[in-house]
Amino acid sequence: MGYAYKIGDGGAVYFITCTVNKWVDVFTRKMYTDIVVDSLNYCAENKGLIIYGYVIMSNHVHLLLQAKEENLSDVLRDFKKFTSQTIIRTVEENKNESRRNWMLWLFKETDENKKNPSNSGNQIIILSYAINFHSCGRNSNTFTTTR
């Protein structure tokens, strides 16, 4: 079941959780976590993403993020699409991946079952939570949550 979490204030700090569709434990392999880290670094260097912290779990990623240009939705969209497509391509090319056929089958099934075909493109990483944090100041370590 999907949830419609929206980024209301594109310049605010958000706690984001991105999950792998079907909760596939993709990130148990270093090569796939490296893709996430490389994508985050690219977004920080080229898209103005401010990364306060992240944790990569076996099938999801927790992020504390902000966008310099107040376009966090756009940056996250690009991050998820690029990262998803790169992971799928890496799985396809990795002949030593023992779960290769199973993962590709799940990802293909997920892509075919999408309700909105214009939103396809092998997007295996989905936005699960987006919680806005309003800080007391740019250099403050105190955050409050809002819904």
Which tens digit of pLDDT belongs to each residue from 46-69? 999 999 999 999 999 999 999 999
CATH numeric code, 13-135: 3.30.70
**What's the pLDDT at 28?**
95
Amino acid sitting at position 108: K
Is residue 10 pLDDT above 80, yes or no? no
pTM (predicted TM-score): 0.79
Q: Cβ-count burial of 142 within 10 angstroms (0-12 exposed, 13-18 middle, 19+ buried)?
A: exposed
Task: Give dist(CA 29, CA 85) in Å, integer.
Answer: 16
For 94-124, what is each residue's pLDDT tens digit?
Answer: 999 999 999 999 888 765 655 544 444 456 7
Local confidence band at 38 (pLDDT 50, 70, 90 cut-offs): very high
For 131-143, what is each residue's pLDDT tens digit?
Answer: 776 543 344 444 4
Is residue 17 pLDDT above 80, yes or no? yes
Task: Give dist(CA 122, CA 111) in Å, integer.
Answer: 6
Cross-strand partners of 51 = 65
Task: Give dist(CA 34, CA 39) in Å, integer.
Answer: 8
Provide mean pLDDT across the span 28-51: 96
As given in the structure block, the two tokens for residue 115 are 């309700």
**What's the pLDDT at 94?**
95
Provide mean pLDDT across the span 19-30: 92
As given in the structure block, the two tokens for residue 79 are 């991050």
**What's the pLDDT at 141?**
45
> What phi, psi does 29 have (nearest 5°)?
-110, 130
Give the 3-state secondary structure of residue 81: helix
